[in-house]
Structure 1
């Protein structure tokens, strides 16, 4: 019983942190480019993680490094850029809604590629959650008809990568400590991110003198410390203590937090979206795998 409560606490905390990440990205993009945002976020997160867990590298088995590096690129590197690019054209709340495709992709990929079984209850929960997500997308499109939804493909591609990452951690890194996984991830992607940051023109006078540059740095700093570094460790712990589907169902709760921030920032919200949000909560509940 205690374990069940801990899982739900982790799920809610992650939902609040990650749900707030979308508005932080939106605000940061007012002062820097999407490539600078993705690269700086990755570099700062790496520095945070190295400062507290660099000693963990010595204890990682050589055979696990290929999975740690692959996990880093799929779960952190590419999505950091893809979400930043997507939010140049679509609202932060829409991006968070599309991110709810992760559990569906997790079930499908876990079954087809990794051989990880899911219960009928979990599958029903994912379908119900997906229906709620679809309603949110449709109603959001009605409220924002001028948005370029082609950029939503960047978010959808990220959800596929997230799903693969969740299954990789559950299948191949189950016995690696959550902090060690996070540090290992960023050992693999830190240098590529630094190269992109240099290429992006971040260290130029033009960037430093941009009107919203200082505030953008503040938003990226908060995003890196809480939205990436801390949440990565929490999420890895959640995957190991539960199931890939339950862990990825955090993406069902994130839109509720993101929508709240979106409304406060002037983005629209309707009664239909409220109904869809309730359907999503039902999906989260059903996706929790009960022990027999």
Structure 2
């Protein structure tokens, strides 16, 4: 679906969409690069610290306008929507390829539907249910696929895939909370202030609870790895959100949501370029996940 706009605006919309897909689709290879030196906890915490510091000039002036309830709700959103997923994705990629992580991330819209139906009185349509079923089959193929392209049994499950599923569940909860709690706040304000709320926790953990500072000074390749995580936080979290909000404004939410289908493609390209091997079962699972998400989110 293309935005119903003049040619200049349509071109701008497509450029934003492609740029977003490139940024978010590249997030998983950046996590992989960061994990070459740092632990999952260090990668997750520094991602939050870099994103939160970058958006601090936007968050501080807006904090004064909020009441106590809004501040508390933004703390919850900060943990559910940013802090916890950052750690979960890093942990998952210690045993899961960046390309498959990118594909599993595409399940986020379906978790939005599930959480909305269970806790926010949203309705699951027949199309949603069919999409969920197809995606569920795809997820099972991805976590059970083994060498040779065959599908293994229970003992062959890559349980690290469940860290990604939990992260996308967090995103699903977060988007529903934002929809119902913050009708009056702009998405940029929500993200900037919620990141500021969890920034101290991430910083305390990073500098007092890990060896991040020591590794940064003494570990070979640490500065480069930290650079990758900085790009992940600043570009993949902060700037990407601003671009996404601009895309929604000049096009439509429906058009903007098509980035969900492009992100796995970019992640797979990066993964294959980096030497990751995809088996027949992986390709079948990837196809099923993307098809399921597409079916489940059609209007």
Counterpart selection for 2:64 from 58, 62, 65: 58
Aligned-residue offset at 1:49: 0.6
2:210 alignment counterpart: 200
C-alpha change, 1:191 and 1:53, in structure 2 (3 Å) is closer
TM-score by structure 2 length?
0.80
C-alpha change, 1:148 and 1:60, in structure 2 (3 Å) is same
Q: In terms of mean alpha carbon deviation, does 135-144 or 176-185 score higher?
A: 135-144
> Residues 242-257 of structure 1: matches in 2 within 5 Å?
242=253, 247=257, 250-257=259-266
The whole-number CA distance in structure 2 between the counterparts of 1:207 and 1:81 is 19
- 3-state SS of paired residue (2:113): helix
The whole-number CA distance in structure 2 between the counterparts of 1:123 and 1:7 is 30
C-alpha change, 1:106 and 1:7, in structure 2 (3 Å) is farther
Q: Aligned Cα RMSD in Å?
A: 3.4
Aligned-residue offset at 1:272: 5.8
2:39 alignment counterpart: 33
TM-score by structure 1 length?
0.82
> Which stretches in structure 1 are left out of the alignment for 5+ residues?
none
Note if contact 2:49-2:203 (Cα within 8 Å) is conserved in structure 1: yes
1:116 paired with 2:126, answer: no
Q: In terms of mean alpha carbon deviation, does 232-241 or 20-29 score higher?
A: 232-241
Aligned-residue offset at 1:28: 1.1
C-alpha change, 1:196 and 1:235, in structure 2 (3 Å) is farther
- 3-state SS of paired residue (1:30): coil
> Residues 154-193 of structure 1: matches in 2 within 5 Å?
154-193=163-202
1:44 paired with 2:50, answer: yes
1:15 paired with 2:25, answer: no
The whole-number CA distance in structure 1 between the counterparts of 2:64 and 2:18 is 32
